[in-house]
Structure 1
Amino acid sequence: MPTYEYACVDCGQHLEVVQSFGDDPLAVCGACGGRLRKVFHPAGILFKGSGFYSTDNRKGSRTAGDGPGSGKAASGEGSGGEARSAKEPAKETA
């Protein structure tokens, strides 16, 4: 049977009650006689397995020089922009 948590609107007292699915929800606080409301919590997440990235989308291990901000691409070498402009001769108009 599931455990439900209730909170009193008036006094703020929290209580946990084991109820079956067919039972009616509690409505009256036992301490002050105020109105009770159910408290909902998000479901817990449990990751199982040898690791999050070991079998998913990661391709090999990164070293210090393999990052996105290092190497030829960051310095502009090999990006293709300068290479194309250097290879194309300037067009002359007569």
Structure 2
Amino acid sequence: MPTYAYACRACGHTFDAVQSIHDDALEACPSCEGSLRRVFGNVGVTFKGSGFYRTDSRAAAKSDS
């Protein structure tokens, strides 16, 4: 299950919550009952290198000679 980061708009309290993608977003801060916002971070996938091509995962072509 994914972990979501939340921050309180009123007191600034930040915390992480493990929730199903089908659960509703949390609305009340556990510290002060203030309004929460979901904090979005960097994407966990980084592609490096010259690129990915359709032929990268295919077996070498057989020659009929």
Greater RCO (Cα-Cα under 8 Å, separation 6 or more) = 2
Equivalent residue runs for 1:32-51 within 5 Å: 32-44=32-44, 45-47=46-48
* 1:4 equivalent in alignment to 2:23: no
Aligned partner letter, 2:16:
E
The residue aligned with 1:29 is: 29
The residue aligned with 1:84 is: none
Task: Supply the distance in 1 between the matched residues of 2:47 and 2:15 (Cα, whole angstroms).
Answer: 26
The residue aligned with 2:17 is: 17
Partner of 1:37, secondary structure, is: strand
Task: Supply the distance in 2 between the matched residues of 1:30 and 1:43 (Cα, whole angstroms).
Answer: 27
Gaps of 5+ in 1: 57-94
CA displacement 1:8-46 (0-9 Å, x = unmatched): 000001010000011011000010110000000121425
Which protein has the larger Cα radius of gyration, Structure 1 or Structure 2? Answer: 1
Gaps of 5+ in 2: 51-65
What is the RMSD computed on CA atoms of the aligned residues?
A: 1.3
Task: Supply the distance in 2 between the matched residues of 1:34 and 1:3 (Cα, whole angstroms).
Answer: 21
Task: Supply the distance in 1 between the matched residues of 2:47 and 2:16 (Cα, whole angstroms).
Answer: 24
Structure number with higher helix proportion: 1
Using the size of structure 1 for normalisation, the TM-score is 0.48
Task: Supply the distance in 2 between the matched residues of 1:29 and 1:15 (Cα, whole angstroms).
Answer: 9
Paired residue total: 49
Structure number with higher strand proportion: 2
Aligned partner letter, 2:13:
Q
